[in-house]
Amino acid sequence: MGEPGRRAVIESLPHIRDEHGIDFIIVNGENSANGRGITPKISIDLLRAGAAVITSGDHIWDQREIHAYLPTEPRLLRPINYPPGAPGAGSIVLDTAKGPIGVINVQGRTFMKLALENPFHAIRAEVEKMREQTKVIFVDVHAEATSEKVAMGRFLDGQVSAVVGTHTHVQTSDERILPGGTAFLCDAGMCGPIDSIIGSDVAPIIERFLSALPSPSPVSRHSEVQISGAIVAIESETGRAASIERVQRKFVPAPANAAK
């Protein structure tokens, strides 16, 4: 969420990777550009910090320069259920030391301002095609309604390795392995300011609820920052999840004079 969350992720990814022995990192960059979308520069910074794939959501088009950049960087995904002709792609398979890993980004429709193609039809076709290349498949379902995300997890259970939700900025505590071997978490949560309303300054958001009038909602910059996410262990041969663990920790920035 904005510069605070962006800085936390970029500085922390190498340490989290080493601490947990992580092989593959996926970052949702949906709100990394001042809370509204992502820029090419931010995408490059996140990839250099250790992200293997960047997913997104309903704010993917908010930064104008991203339209031309998406077709040039296949590791930055937009939701797969956009109509044909939309720039970029909604999925990717990358070769790794542990074998090929697939990532799919899909957007829900319930309570979302922009109603895209049916996410269930779109992802079923993509999973069937991707399973010809790999059994290790991670799905970021970017959606508002918990019911839609839970339904997506159940729909894909046994067909993909993990279904993790994004969008609400609030981490849920329902992590589990579904009966078919798919890891599930309704929402990974936010990397951003703690003393905020889903990452934005408190006062303007309260005023918006009081007045029902549109108002700016700047990213909070006077707060401690937290990192939220999940770590999933996957059996590479079968694609089944062995475990899923929520992660939420305060970000401790490096000293200003620290060696870079």
Q: Which of 118, 121, 159, 154 is nearest to 138 (CA)?
A: 159
| Closest to 63 (Cα-Cα) out of 91, 89, 94, 31 | 31
User: What SS3 class is residue 230?
Assistant: strand
219's tokens: 């990213």
3-state SS class at 91: strand
Distance of CA 145 to the CA centre of its chain: 16
20 is catalytic: no
Catalytic residue among 20, 59, 167, 222: 59
Q: By the 8 A CB rule, do 230 and 175 touch? A: yes
What is the rounded distance in angstroms from the CA atom of residue 7 to the CA atom of residue 77? 21
Q: For the stretch 183-192, what's the b/e string if a residue is b when 16 or more beta carbons lie within 10 angstroms of its beta carbon?
A: bbbbbbbbbb
> Which tokens in the block code for residue 87?
């720039």
Reading the block at residue 152, the tokens are: 């997506």
Q: Would you state the structure tokens that stand for residue 113, as one six-digit string?
A: 């301002």
The pair phi, psi for residue 37, each rounded to 5°, is 80, -155
CB-side exposure of 164: number of CA atoms within 13 Å? Answer: 29
The alpha helices in 140-197, defined as continuous H runs, are 146-156
Point out the residues that are catalytic: 59
